[in-house]
Chain A
Amino acid sequence: MRAIPYAIFAALVVFAISRRLRRRRNQEQAGPPTRQYYLSSLLGHTGLVAQREVRERLRGRFFRVITLVLLAVVAAAIVIPTLHSSSKSSQTVGVVGTASPALRREVDRLARNESLSVRVVTVADLETARLQLSSGRLDLVINGTTSILVNKPIPATDTSAGAQLARSLAATLGVQQTFRAAGLSTTQIAQITQAKALPIRSVQPGSNRSTAQSTSLIGVVLVFVMLTQYLTWTLMGVMEEKASRVVEVLLAAVKPIDLLGGKLLGIGLVALFQAGLVVAFALILAKAVGSDLLHGTAPLVVVATLIWLVLGYAFYSWVYAAAGSLTERQDQVQSLALPLSVPIIFGYIISLTAAGSGNASVLVKVLAFLPPTAPFAIPTWVALGGIAWWELVFSAAISVISTFGVARVAAAIYRRAVLRTGGRVRLRSLLAS
């Protein structure tokens, strides 16, 4: 029921977007209107180029398809575990026969331990209890002192609050039953069962690590998918401008650095928009279905993932753009794309392995300071804990400084290579010219 407002909100957003797209299509059929270039007033030529890039990319079918696929994957990653664990924040517990005040108090206490609100109702007989469990009106039933009934078996891997309540009720009531049989008084039994457990204190700081780990796993996969997608756009976009020879017309009016910068900024803005959309969708959906994916340190992981996605794109996009300027055919692009993607795949696999194992290895910590692998290693390290704020700042600073250096070299390669046609340009021949 709590998901209904979110579902309505999502439907309204989808409706508004589709209406806008329809209106734009109608306008296009009627004839081209004057385009507004908002970014140009801020960034001059770079802004103009960026805005054309954003418009063309958002208009493309590929963007819509990949966004929908990403949203579907994120939705599945969030919803499926909650379906599996049948997690709910409130439970209705049936008691066959009469529910003594002591039993009600016990159920309340155990529910509070699991952060659940609970309603205790009495059920006339076992048959009625079974029916109400099947129909979903009851989440579990206490059958006197003999058993706890649930609708479906609870697997050992189910760590939801409802499953934990069923387990702790079963254990507590069983212990009470044994104490009663041993002749202890009600007061003694209450004293024993309500005994406070000794606190468990960890030597290392950190809380709710498993949740943050899951979030970082999703984050690392998202960074990989999005970086791969947008860097391929950059590579192909530069190659296509060279192949169609439009770049010569553009460079007659715009400096190479402005043209390249605008292109990378435009694709980067689309990437950020898509990432923002996916994260916003994930947050809303996680809240709506009561997922615990964003609890604990997980929000920090989300923020780190977004920041290093931007830093990673900024670093790699120059490299890919320079590579794109060396080629003018698809087959040439493919032969360049593979070696370029090696550090991405390396960082991705190492980080994914570390996030899965729950141990931030020395290798991950080293990779976190290298700009090509930091977008994967940093979110993982943040999720696994133990990273200091200065280490984050240091890693970000290395990425930013390296990006400036890479941009200078890439712009020089681009300027020299993009007008050379007739085959793949070798770096050696660029240096010789």
Chain B
Amino acid sequence: MPYRDRVRAELELSGLRRSFGSVVALDDLSFSVPSGQVVGFLGPNGAGKTTAMRAIFGLTDLDGGTVRWRGQSIGAEDRRRFGYMPEERGLYPSMAVGEQIEYLGRLHGLSGSQAADSVRTWLERLDIGDRAASKVESLSHGNQQRVQLAAALVHDPEVLILDEPLAGLDPSGIDAIGEVLVERARAGCCVLFSSHQLDLVEDLCEAVTIIDHGRLVATGTVDELASSGPRRLAVRVEGDRDGAWASTIRGASVSQVQGGEVRLVLESTTDSDTVLAAARSAGRVTEFVFDRRRLSEVFREATTS
């Protein structure tokens, strides 16, 4: 059973269309986000990811289509229970961290004491508990990013929509934020985040949705997408860094050459022995294995086809 039919879709985007003049940002885009999973939202620059995320929050006028939450057309009250981290970070630069997150918590419907408690909890959790009284502008980029995430989490949202939450972070920052995303998903939250760091997405996400030119081009669990498609071989020839030997093989195309490892996509009629013979003619073969698709390959193949 395909992924989209198997999971319980809580947040559904259906037939979204949006144009800015002659530029089509969303072209009948439909996908859904289940609860309990971290879903990666991928696409090349200008694919329409940010417009789609904004559409969830009603921040852009749609030319057509609907966003539904738990089967109902989404409303302002539903959105107030969502958490959002926009692509371009936004906080009041000269306002104290704690006060600012508390204010945002209040806007999302928390009482004064609930907001204050939640601020303390999240700042501690994200290792910036000692910066509550600091102005946002005095914080490092990484810590500002943590504050931004705390602002999205302060009201314990049912849905987390994060646009490039990992951009510009050091490994410890990526670990801290990644851990929180997985934890929220395990707690029953819908988590959708966009990123260009495909290795990280592969590590963090159960599922991915890929769009291009405002259209859905692939969706499914990481495992499904990785094991689907034509067979591929990873071959390494001693002393050969650029894999020139592979370019002439009939019935196989080079998917990627990285650090001397050549990844080949085989047509269904192509015999792997043909590839092995070609590799041997170039030198001593040190690696020859059938492999799954990497997410970067899924992405590239989906967005260039």
Please choose the segment from A96-104, A113-121, A177-185, A250-258 that sits at the chain B interface, where 4 or more of its residues have CB less than 8 A away. A250-258
Q: Contact at A253–B60, with CB atoms within 8 Å?
A: no
* Chain A residues in 8 Å Cβ range of B151: 249
Cα distance, A302 to B211, chains bound together (Å): 63
Chain A: residues with Cβ within 8 Å of the partner, total of: 33
Best-buried of A34, A49, A252, A416 by chain B (most CB within 10 Å): A252
Q: How many Å lie between the Cα of A416 and that of B107 in the bound state? A: 21
Binds B, one of A211-219, A240-248, A370-378, A395-403: A240-248
A56 and B69 CA atoms in complex are apart in Å by 36
Consensus secondary structure, chain A interface: helix
Verify if A187 is at the interface (C-beta below 8 Å from B): no
B60 and A419 within 8 A (CB): yes
User: In the complex, which residues of chain A have a beta carbon less than 8 angstroms from the beta carbon of B133?
Assistant: 28-29, 31-32
Contact B103 A253 (CB under 8 A): no
Report which of A32, A247, A248, A251 forms a contact with B99, defined as CB distance below 8 A: A32
User: Is the C-beta of B46 less than 8 angstroms from some C-beta in chain A?
Assistant: no
Task: Give the contacting residue for B106; candidates A29, A32, A40, A251; CB below 8 A.
Answer: A40
A28 — which chain B residues lie within 8 A by C-beta? 96, 133
Residues on the B chain within 8 Å of A362, using CB: none
Which stretch from B8-16, B82-90, B227-235 is at the chain A interface? B82-90
List A contacts of B178 (CB < 8 A).
Answer: none
The answer on a CB contact under 8 Å between B88 and A248 is yes
Q: How far is the CB of B222 from chain A (nearest CB, A)?
A: 28
Q: Give every chain B residue within 8 A of A329 (Cβ-Cβ).
A: none
**Is the CB–CB distance between B113 and A433 below 8 Å?**
no
Interface flag for A194 (CB, 8 Å): no
8 Å CB contact of A421 from B88, B92, B96, B113? B88
B57 adjacent to chain A (CB < 8 Å): yes
Q: Which residues of the partner chain A approach B96 to less than 8 Å between Cβ atoms? A: 28, 32
Q: Is A285 close to B, CB under 8 A?
A: no
Closest to B92 in A: A246
User: Smallest CB–CB gap between A412 and chain B, Å?
Assistant: 11
Query: How distant is the Cα of A421 from the Cα of B59 in the complex, in angstroms?
Result: 13
State whether B90 touches A34 (Cβ < 8 A).
no
How far apart are A52's CB and chain B's nearest CB, in angstroms? 6
Any B CB within 8 A of the CB of A319: no
- Contacting A at CB under 8 A, from B73-105, are 76, 79-80, 82, 84, 86, 88-93, 95-96, 98-99, 102-104
Q: Which of A32, A241, A251 contacts B132 (CB 8 A)?
A: A32
Query: Does B238 sit at the interface, judged by CB under 8 A?
Result: no
A245-B86, A248-B88, A249-B86 given as contacts; is B61 within 8 A of A34 (CB)? no
Cβ-based interface call for A204 (8 A): no
- Contact at B21–A432, with CB atoms within 8 Å? yes
Judged by a CB distance under 8 angstroms, whether B116 is at the interface is: yes
Residue contact B113 to A34, C-beta cutoff 8 Å: yes
How far is it, in angstroms, between the C-alpha of A234 and the C-alpha of B20 when the chains are bound? 29
Does A36 belong to the interface (CB within 8 Å)? yes
The answer to whether the Cβ of B17 comes within 8 Å of any Cβ in the partner chain is: no
B294 within 8 A of A: no
- Chain B residues closer than 8 Å to A37, beta-carbon distance: 106, 112
Do A32 and B90 touch across chains, with their CB atoms under 8 A apart?
Answer: no
Instruction: Choose one: A34, A56, A245, A248; the contact of B102 (CB below 8 Å).
Output: A34
Note all chain B residues with C-beta closer than 8 A to A56. 95
User: Could you tell me which residues of chain B, from 3 to 59, have a CB within 8 Å of some CB in chain A?
Assistant: 20-21, 54, 57, 59
Q: Are B106 and A249 in contact (CB under 8 A)?
A: no
Q: Mark A14-38, 1 if CB is under 8 A from B, else 0.
A: 0000000000000011011011110
Does B184 interact with chain A (Cβ within 8 Å)? no
Query: Closest CB of chain B to A258's CB: distance in Å?
Result: 9
Cα A40 to Cα B110 with chains together (Å): 12
* With A34-B102, A35-B99 as contacts: A433 and B20 at CB distance below 8 Å: yes
Q: A34-B112, A34-B113, A252-B79 are in contact. Are A245 and B98 (CB under 8 A)?
A: no
A350 partner residues in chain B, CB cutoff 8 A = none
A246-B99 in contact given A32-B133, A253-B104, A253-B107 (Cβ < 8 Å): no
Task: Give the residues from 131 to 160 in chain B that come closer than 8 angstroms, CB to CB, to chain A.
Answer: 132-133, 148, 151
Q: A349–B21 Cα gap in the complex (Å)?
A: 44
Does A287 touch B at the CB level, under 8 Å? no
State whether B59 touches A252 (Cβ < 8 A). yes
- CA–CA, A174 to B90, complex, Å? 81
Tell me, in angstroms, the Cα distance from A244 to B189 when the chains sit together: 28
Tell which of B79, B80, B90 touches A245, judged by Cβ atoms closer than 8 Å.
B90
Cα distance A416–B60 when bound, in Å? 8
B263 CB within 8 Å of chain A: no
**Interface presence of A48 (CB below 8 A):** yes
Q: Is B236 an interface residue (CB 8 A)?
A: no
- Residues of A within 8 Å of B104, CB to CB, are 249-250, 253
B262, chain A: closest CB distance, angstroms: 41
A255 and B108 CA atoms in complex are apart in Å by 12
- What's the minimum C-beta distance from A51 to chain B, rounded to whole angstroms? 9
Residue A45 at the chain B interface, CB threshold 8 Å: yes
CA distance A34 to B148 in the complex (A): 20
**Residue in chain B with minimal CB distance to A248:** B86
Q: Contacts A32-B132, A48-B103, A244-B93 hold; do A252 and B88 have CB atoms under 8 A apart?
A: no
Contacts of B82 in A (CB 8 A): 252
Q: Please name the 6 residue pairs, one residue from A and one from B, whose CB atoms are nearest each other, closest first.
A: A245-B90, A246-B90, A252-B84, A32-B98, A253-B107, A245-B88
Other than the known A29-B133, A251-B57, A251-B59, what 14 A-B pairs have Cβ atoms closer than 8 Å?
A28-B133, A31-B132, A35-B103, A36-B112, A37-B106, A49-B107, A245-B90, A246-B90, A247-B90, A249-B84, A249-B86, A249-B90, A249-B91, A419-B54
- 16 CB contacts below 8 A, A to B, read A32-B133, A34-B112, A34-B113, A36-B112, A48-B107, A49-B107, A245-B88, A245-B90, A248-B86, A248-B88, A252-B57, A253-B79, A419-B59, A419-B60, A429-B21, A432-B21
Please give the residue numbers on chain B whose beta carbons come within 8 Å of chain A beta carbons, in ascending order: 20-21, 54, 57, 59-61, 76, 79-80, 82, 84, 86, 88-93, 95-96, 98-99, 102-104, 106-108, 112-113, 115-116, 132-133, 148, 151
